[in-house]
Structures are given as structure tokens and as C-alpha cells.
Amino acid sequence: MINIGIIGLGTVGSGTVKTLVKNKEIIEKRLGFPFMLKKIASLEYDKALEDLFPPNTITQNTEELFEEKLDIVVELIGGINKAKQYILRAIENGSSVVTANKALLSTYGFEIFKKAYEKKVDVGFEASVGGGIPIIKAVKEGLCANNILSIEGIVNGTANYILTSMLEEEKTFQETLKKAQDLGFAEKNPSLDIDGIDSAHKTAILASLAFGTVLTAQQVHTEGIKDIEYSDLEYARRLGYKVKLLGIVKMKDGKVDARVHPAMIKEMETLAKVDGVYNAITVRGDIVEDTTYIGQGAGSFPTASSIVSDIMDISRNIEYKTHLRTPLLSFPFQHIRKLSTVDTNSLSMKYYLRFRVVDSGGVLAKIANVLGNHEISIKSVIQLGHGREWVPLVLMTHQAREKDVKEAIEIIDKLDVVKGKTLLIRVEENEDVG
């Protein structure tokens, strides 16, 4: 019998307990042995959940949960400090842990994993990236024969919904954010989603697993989607691209290239076709080449699917008297390396540049002159419509060095014909594997 405790009965916690109740039969059939939800601790919860369990199973006092002898403690309260305390305490007590807490793992992951390693217990965190998509297992197990060459993903459903709706409904960023909040997709404080922070948490975790390192979210170059306008999405469409907020993980000259930013991707690419709240992650391995995983990246039941899968995995380890069969960070501790990260100035790719300029003759020549002086070659130019105050002027560059592009923009933004900050979107084009 595997005894389980759950801390937190919010959206994900409720989905998890309902899944464990609804699918108890198939879960136990698959396991070949029983489990029991021994204690659930939550300050607030839907009282109807009490009917699913024997009396006193749910408590508001987390101390009661820690008085039980638990094989697995599931942390679903989110946030950093309390969650970290509970997780470390559970590990200290000899319990394995399951968590969906990407903010915590992408900041204090190493400390938690090291403690688990010392205490010979497991930590499952499938739900921390991609909600219901089993991406952690794919990277750690399914693709373990490969050198991982890159991971690129839409790992934030809220941002993907906003970019999709802006284009479909021809609306501004602010109008679309408001609609997403009204529909409950975006939080009242949407910063984590729209500023790319949540994507950076997930990208740090994926980078760590891909390369056997411990990358923190703070090391991920992070830009959000606030500066994207409807017209950018429309121009991108005319040029044969989609704009997506991507988490990108690559290895470049022995350094980790880990970034979150809006990116233009060719419209025929799989990720470009994943719209709305969906997440999608493409992992490129040297042996398998590209595999893409698409699904719901958030929500009560999709996330619960991943949490219960971790619970089952760890239950099997406990039942068969093993632990850490799959290394927590995908590589055993002796192979975890400290790697430095790539400075975005050293990147080289194509760029989409949108300038706000006065609508008069000679403007393009002035801008082209600065770009030329920085060895940036123009691939195409679009200017649609006339404006009184300013008009958008859009350029696609050929391959250029980011350092040069940024220096050129700094000069261009000071020209008298330029009436606002220039927007830069990186064009992500993958070479064929080979």
C-alpha cells in the first residue's frame, strides 16, 4: 500500500484528487498494487471534496499531514518559500515528493534534488513544464539515447492565446489581454505569463535536463510579448511567418543558449500551427531528429494527468524497493556540469525590425544607411498605409550579428525621422539535422 499526502487543493490539487478517485481502478490495475490518499492539507477548498474521502482526510492543518507516515508528499500550493519548506521537510522525513512548482525548481532545484539524492527519495516534476504533456519523461527517458541538439517550445498557453487572438480578431495587445482575463485564461496580475517569466522557469528546467546542468530561470534571457502589435502579426503573416513566444534551448560552443522571446517561425512549421491556449514543444535529438509534443499546458485535469503519472512512477519505485532509477536531472550527479550561458549579443540570425517613422521621402535611405554601416543586409521591406504622425516601416534582414543589429537600432532610434522605439523580433530557422 502506497500512502500519499497532498498539500494544496487549488485548481491543480482538486484535479489531482478527483483524478485519483475517478480513475482509482485503472490506476491500481496498472500499478498492480493499491494506493491510499491518506491526508490532504489545504487552507481553502471546495467542501464538496470532503464527500470523496473518509472523515478527517482533508485538514486545514498541514502539521497533521506531516504526522502521517507518507510514502509520497505532493506539493501543489505553488509559490516559493512555504513550498520549499514543505518539500525539504517531506524529503527529510524520507518521503518522495511530486510537485508542479516550476518557479521553485528553476530557482532552488539543485538544493532540492541534492537533498533527495542524499535521502534516497524521488522527486517527480512532470507537471512543471507543459501541463499535461509528458515532456519531462520524453527528455529524461524516451529520448535518452540522443544528444539533445535543441528544444523549442510554446510553453505558456496564456501568451499563445493572446498572440493567436490578436491576429484572428485584429485586436490590440491590451484588448486581447483584457479578454483573456475576462475568460479566466490570464491572471489579474498577468506578468508571469506576458513578460515571459513563466516560460523562463520552464525553459530553465528543460535546459537543465537536456544538457545535464543546473540552469536557473535568472540565467534565461527573457523577453515578453507586450510590445507586439497586431500589425506585426499581420506583417509576419504576409512574409510567411507566425509570431510565437518561444522557450529556446540550444548548445553553442560549450555554452547553453537559453532564451524566451517572441520569435518568427515559418508558417509551415509544426509549432506555428499550434494556436490558442495549447502548448507545443519540439525536441531535436541527433539520432531521432525532431519529435513534437502538443497538448494542454495548463488546467486542472491536464496538469493532474502529469502529477498522477509521477505518483504512479514513484509508487512503482517504492513497491519494487528502488529509488532514483531515472536520475532527477536526467544525468547522475557525478555528471552534472556547471555551464555558462550564451550572451544574446553573440547570436547571429535574421531579424524582423519594425520602425516607427514619419511618412516622407528619404526615410528608408537614412535607415538603410545606418544598417549598411553595420554590415546588415536588407532582405525585404514593407510599408503599408499612410499615417499622419508616423507609419510602421518593416524590414527583414539577412543573417546578421545581433550585436550589430542592436547598435544600429540605437542609432536609428535617435534619427529625427524615427518616432518611437524600434521593435526587434528574432527569426528562428532551424537547419536540417545532419
The reply on whether position 177 binds ligand HSE by CB under 6 A is no
Could you say which of 39, 84, 140, 202 is catalytic?
202
Question: Which residues, other chains included, contact 114 with Cβ-Cβ below 8 Å and sequence gap of 6+?
Answer: 333
Q: Between the CA of residue 174 and those of 166, 170, 177, 309, what are the distances in Å?
A: 9, 12, 5, 38
**Nearest to ligand HSE of 193, 257 (CB atom):** 193
**Nearest to ligand HSE of 126, 193 (CB atom):** 193
The reply on whether position 298 binds ligand HSE by CB under 6 A is yes
Question: In angstroms, what is the minimal distance from the CB of 193 to ligand HSE?
Answer: 5
Cell 510553453 belongs to which residue?
A: 155
Binding mask 373-412 for ligand HSE (x = CB under 6 A): ----------------------------------------
Question: In angstroms, what is the minimal distance from the CB of 83 to ligand HSE?
Answer: 14
Question: In angstroms, what is the minimal distance from the CB of 339 to ligand HSE?
Answer: 25
DSSP 8-state code for residue 334: G
Question: In angstroms, what is the minimal distance from the CB of 195 to ligand HSE?
Answer: 12
**Nearest to ligand HSE of 103, 424 (CB atom):** 103
**Nearest to ligand HSE of 308, 396 (CB atom):** 308
The reply on whether position 222 binds ligand HSE by CB under 6 A is no
Q: Which residues, numbered 122-161, are part of the site for ligand HSE (CB under 6 A)? A: 156-158
What are the DSSP E strand ranges found in 212-362? 221-222, 241-252, 255-266, 278-285, 289-296, 348-357
Question: In angstroms, what is the minimal distance from the CB of 166 to ligand HSE?
Answer: 16
| Out of 71, 122, 126, 193, the residue judged to bind ligand HSE by CB under 6 A | 193
* C-alpha to C-alpha distance for 370 and 362, rounded to whole angstroms: 13
Around Cβ 385, how many Cβ atoms within 10 Å?
8
Q: Between the CA of residue 157 and those of 193, 275, 405, what are the distances in Å?
A: 8, 9, 30
Q: Between the CA of residue 366 and those of 79, 235, 358, 427, what are the distances in Å?
A: 50, 22, 12, 24
**Nearest to ligand HSE of 149, 192 (CB atom):** 192
**Nearest to ligand HSE of 71, 198 (CB atom):** 198
Q: What angle do CA 258, 401, 426 make, to 5 degrees?
A: 55
* C-alpha to C-alpha distance for 157 and 303, rounded to whole angstroms: 13
Tell me whether residue 84 is one of the annotated catalytic residues: no
Single-letter amino acid code for the residue at 371 = L
Q: What is the number of residues in the chain?
A: 434
Question: In angstroms, what is the minimal distance from the CB of 208 to ligand HSE?
Answer: 17
**Nearest to ligand HSE of 5, 297 (CB atom):** 297
Q: Between the CA of residue 210 and those of 76, 214, 250, 303, what are the distances in Å?
A: 25, 10, 9, 22
The reply on whether position 281 binds ligand HSE by CB under 6 A is no
Q: Classify burial at 212, counting beta carbons within 10 Å of its beta carbon; exposed 0-12, middle 13-18, buried 19 or more.
A: middle
* C-alpha to C-alpha distance for 79 and 107, rounded to whole angstroms: 11
The reply on whether position 297 binds ligand HSE by CB under 6 A is yes
Binding mask 321-340 for ligand HSE (x = CB under 6 A): --------------------
Q: Which residues, numbered 197-216, are part of the site for ligand HSE (CB under 6 A)? A: 198
User: Which are the catalytic amino acids?
Assistant: 202
**Positions that interact with ligand HSE (CB under 6 A):** 156-158, 193, 198, 297-298
